[in-house]
Amino acid sequence: MKLACALAALTLAATAAGAAPARYRILERIPGPDGGWDFVRLDPGHDRLWMTRGTSVMAIDLASGKVTAGLSPGVRLHDVLPVNDGQELLITAGTANAAVFADATTGATIATAPTGKNPDAAEFDPATGLVLVMDHDGGEVVLIDPREHRAVGQIQIGGGLEVAAVDGKGRAFVNVEDKNQTVVLDIKARKVERRIALPGCDGPTGIAYVARRNWLIASCDGSTDVVDAATGVLIKTLKTGKAADGVAYDPRRELAFVAGREGTLSVISLKGGRPAVVQVLKTEANNRTLAVDPRTGRVYLPVAQLASPGPGQRPAPVAGTFHVLVVGAANAK
């Protein structure tokens, strides 16, 4: 009897150890040219990492580590989204109030589609085949057909629009930063379906959709909310880093990642339907946007040191300090 109990205890311990999330650490740093940055995107099909650098687009070949910079020059570029099977890029140009289509190899402009004021984040919806472009200052979502390179409609929301997530069934979830809410859209019907209040969430920016549980993960300033997408009920609020500007979700490992400007990466486990922060990794200051590779589980975070700004100016990156942090788990499978 004692032997059976001992074996059972060992089995439970081994099971618990196997279920424990892998510990994450900084694996490498990939240097890049000087300058600012905004959104970062991963294209698993072509093994490339894309990001906007303010006045151009940069790519990293993940197999070789080769950096290609200076693609598709523009002004106040925000997001870069691989479209049309990764052969083209949709780039949101804030100053031009446009979505620019560029060749993913050469960066040459293919077409331009007008948007509203200061287009920011973009998201592809597989159910309709359309790209949603969130106009941060205009308060509307512009719907763009990436095959035809043109705008085909819009949905008025109001407020400062940030990142969107889609459920793959024709619904989108858009964070409204200055209203502390997530808006649910029916993309095909071109209408706002409902609004989910996030009263404890200060300035929601990043958002991810968890298909397995029909949950939303919204990053706020200093916390992250996990919400039931069907009911709008808050499941849990988790303490995470300040001034986060995105959420990266890894469905294979049921982990979400939120970067804090102070230099943290919060690793959130959703396993068992119990959201919890399982690790806070010390990274580097000014990491805010991020992307995760669903194949390897590696997380990519652009960072740089920032100089103290003058009156009325934004902080500028210090020369020679920009790089991309590669974070991964040593015991990942």
Chain center to CA of 169: 20
Instruction: Report which secondary-structure segment, H or E, holds 4.
Output: helix 2-19
The pLDDT assigned to 3 comes to 42
The pLDDT assigned to 21 comes to 63
**pTM (whole model) above 0.95:** no
Number of H helices and E strands in the chain, helices first, is 1, 28
Mind listing the domains of the chain with CATH numbers?
A: 25-37+200-333 (2.130.10.10), 72-197 (2.130.10.10)
The pLDDT assigned to 2 comes to 44
164 contacts 190 by C-beta, under 8 angstroms: no
pLDDT in tens, 109-160: 999 999 999 999 999 999 999 999 999 999 999 999 999 999 999 999 999 9
Q: How far is CA 59 from CA 135, 171, 302, 322, in A?
A: 24, 30, 12, 14
The pLDDT assigned to 302 comes to 98
The pLDDT assigned to 17 comes to 38
The pLDDT assigned to 332 comes to 53
**DSSP, residue by residue, 5-18:** HHHHHHHHHHHHHH
Structure-block tokens of residue 116: 């509203």
Question: What is the chain's mean pLDDT, rounded?
Answer: 93
Q: Which residues, given as ranges, of the chain have pLDDT below 50?
A: 1-18, 333
Q: What type of residue is 243? A: A
The pLDDT assigned to 330 comes to 75
Helix, strand, coil percentages for the chain (3-state, nearest 5): 5, 50, 45
Query: Which DSSP symbol is given to 316?
Result: -
